Amino acid sequence: MHSEETNEVVVQPPDKEKIRKIWKVALILGIVTACEFAVAFLLPPEYRTIKIVTFIIMTIVKAFYIVGEFMHLGHEVKSLIYSVLIPMAFVVWLLIALIVEGDSILMAR
């Protein structure tokens, strides 16, 4: 099945720089999540719109780090990055379309 089968596997020593980078990204994700909590509980409920906008921005920041660093997409070739990202425009379209639709249904009831 696999023509490249081999018994000679060379174990390489860990790259300290790479591992430090992984933990750095983990730390960023943790801090952003902690900030989300801070915003949820420290900002008074009158600032609802600001809260929601901050949550969405923080979610996109987290998604950027998970997809870009953990899933390694940031280090792939440009054509692969765009073939994954551009179709997500459909999601944005559907989101806007259905939220507006939901609002209209409420008004029409």
Partner 1 sequence: MSDTATVVGTSSGNLWKGGRSPFKASYGKLMMWFFLMSDAFTFSALLISYGLIRFRNPAYEGHPDDFTFSQEWWPIPEKVFEAVPFLHGVPLPLVFVGIMTFILILSSVTMVLAVEAGHRNDRKAVEKWMLWTILGGLTFLGCQAWEWSHFIHGTDFGTAAKFLINGEWITKTIHGANLTVNEYGPPPFAALFFFITGFHGTHVASGVLLNFLIFYRTATGYYDRRGHYEMVEKVGLYWHFVDLVWVFVFTFFYLV
67, 73 contact by CB (below 8 A): yes
Dihedral sign for Cα atoms in the order 68, 69, 74, 77: negative
Least distance CB 61 / partner 1 (angstroms)? 10
Q: Measured from the CB of residue 106, what is the shortest distance to partner 1 in angstroms? A: 5
* Least Å from the CB of residue 66 to partner 1: 5
Say if residues 49 and 5 touch (Cβ distance below 8 Å). no
Site residues for partner 1 per CB under 8 A: 2, 4-7, 9-15, 18-19, 22-23, 25-26, 29-30, 33, 36-37, 40-41, 45, 52, 55-56, 58-59, 62-63, 66-67, 69-71, 76-77, 79-80, 83-84, 87-88, 90-91, 94-95, 98-99, 101-103, 105-106, 109
How far is residue 85's CA from residue 74's CA, in Å, rounded to a whole number?
Answer: 11
Tokens linked to 99: 């939220």
d(CA 10, CA 100): 58
- Smallest distance from partner 1 to CB 29, Å: 5
